[in-house]
Amino acid sequence: EVLLVESGGGLVQPGGSLRLSCAASGITFGHYWIHWVRQVPGKGLLWVSHINSDGSATSYADSVKGRFTISRDSAKDTVYLQMNSLRVEDTAVYYCTRSFDYWGQGTPVTVSS
Amino acid sequence: DVVMTQSPLSLPVTLGQPASISCRSSQSLVYSDGKTHLNWYQQRPGQSPRRLIYEVSKRDSGVPDRFSGSGSGTDFTLKISRVEAEDVGVYYCMQGSHWPPWTFGQGTEVEIK
């Protein structure tokens, strides 16, 4: 069974940092682009960031550019999203997805004082 | 950025009856590879998105054949031939032809009358 498992979410104060992880089970990330997508509860889906298969190319939504950094560790088959300078409006469930076919269950991030 | 516009945003349907969701893009989704990267997702309550359709009309493995996708250029449609109770949820279209960013429609909530 193919599984993507996100972790690292939680409650953080505005201005704080979190690092999300996305690990694969039953598949390998090796040849795929990986994306992070977020969803405010009750709202729609918003693409956040992508990384290509070898980590040489990344992109970000304007709303997170300069604050979030995506990376991958091929040896661990894991993708990370380092989130700095967090804002209240970053509060959402964060999903990782392998080329938009398989999706994880999401990890909630709450930014609040 | 490509804007994806879905209609209707709410769709009450009777069990066993057909349902149709429209998705329009602000520019043609034909990519340089000749393919049209338009996907449809189902998100059941409390679950992560599940891809149903990719490249306009290709059904993912395990997706019931009552789901079908059609369209071209800027106009796309997801049809459910006979709605079942398990089809309740929110449906999203997503374009992957002009990126970044990858963009989603606002979502269409399907409910049983």
Predicted pLDDT at A51: 97
Chain A residue at shortest CA distance from B91? A44
Residue A1 pLDDT grade (very low, low, confident, very high; cuts 50, 70, 90) = confident
Judged by CB atoms closer than 8 Å, whether chains meet at A46 and B106 is answered as no
Q: Write out the two tokens for B64.
A: 């019931």
**From B96, B106, B107, residue closest to A100, measured CB to CB:** B96
Q: Phi first, then psi: what are they for B49, rounded to 5°?
A: -60, 150
Strand B75-80 with B19-25, pairing: antiparallel
User: What residues of chain A lie within 8 A of the CB of B107, using their CB?
Assistant: 44-45
**Which residues have a Cβ under 8 Å from the Cβ of A82 and sit 6 or more positions away?**
A17, A19, A68, A69, A70, A71
Q: CA–CA separation, B8 vs B110, rounded Å?
A: 10
pLDDT digits (tens, 9 = 90+) for A35-67: 999 999 999 999 999 999 999 999 999 999 999
Q: What is the pLDDT along chain B (113 residues), one digit of tens a residue?
A: 999 999 999 999 999 999 999 999 999 999 999 999 999 999 999 999 999 999 999 999 999 999 999 999 999 999 999 999 999 999 999 999 999 999 999 999 999 99
Predicted pLDDT at A3: 86
Tell me how far the alpha carbon of residue B51 is from its chain's centroid: 9
Distance from CA of B104 to the nearest CA of A (A): 6
Q: How many CB pairs under 8 A join A and B?
A: 47
Query: Which of B93, B96, B8 has its CA nearest to residue B43?
Result: B93
Q: CA–CA separation, B74 vs B64, rounded Å?
A: 25
